[in-house]
Amino acid sequence: MPTVTVLPSGKTTQAASGTSLLAAIHASGVSLKTKCTDTACNGSCHVFVVNGKKSLSKLQRTENEKLDTIPGVTSKSRLACQATLGSEDVTVELVGFDS
């Protein structure tokens, strides 16, 4: 089971492969305020993947198109509601974390 570390809080959780990154972030006890649903993403779950990006699911066309509309996107950007965990540990940094 991979471990997900959420920065800047440093909170961690273990989650099964195939779990969405968003679900893992919430399981760590970090409240990521997002308006994403299972069927629609508005980009509010944008995170930077600091480590373990290759272990996440492949970037799909719909995610890539949504990322193209978000300011501040880098090569480390993913949408937490769209990315699923693989078998390796992942570290993410929340964008605009205000706590």
- Per-residue model confidence as pLDDT tens digits over 40-50: 788 889 999 99
**Measuring CA to CA, which residue among 48, 97, 50, 92 is closest to residue 70?**
48
| 45 domain-assigned | yes
Find all residues with CB under 8 Å of 23, minimum gap 6, and list them.
15
8 Å CB contact between 48 and 95: yes
Domains: count for the chain: 1
pLDDT band at 99 (very low <50, low <70, confident <90, very high): very low
| Per-residue pLDDT tens over the stretch 46-76 | 999 999 999 999 999 999 999 999 999 999 9
Residue 71 lies in a domain: yes
**Closest C-alpha among 28, 35, 29, 32 to residue 14:** 28
State the pTM of this model.
0.90
Tokens 């961690």 identify what position?
A: 12
Q: What is the mean pLDDT of the chain?
A: 91
CATH of residue 39's domain is 3.10.20.30
Q: Which domain holds residue 43?
A: 3-94
Q: Are 25 and 36 in contact (CB under 8 A)?
A: no
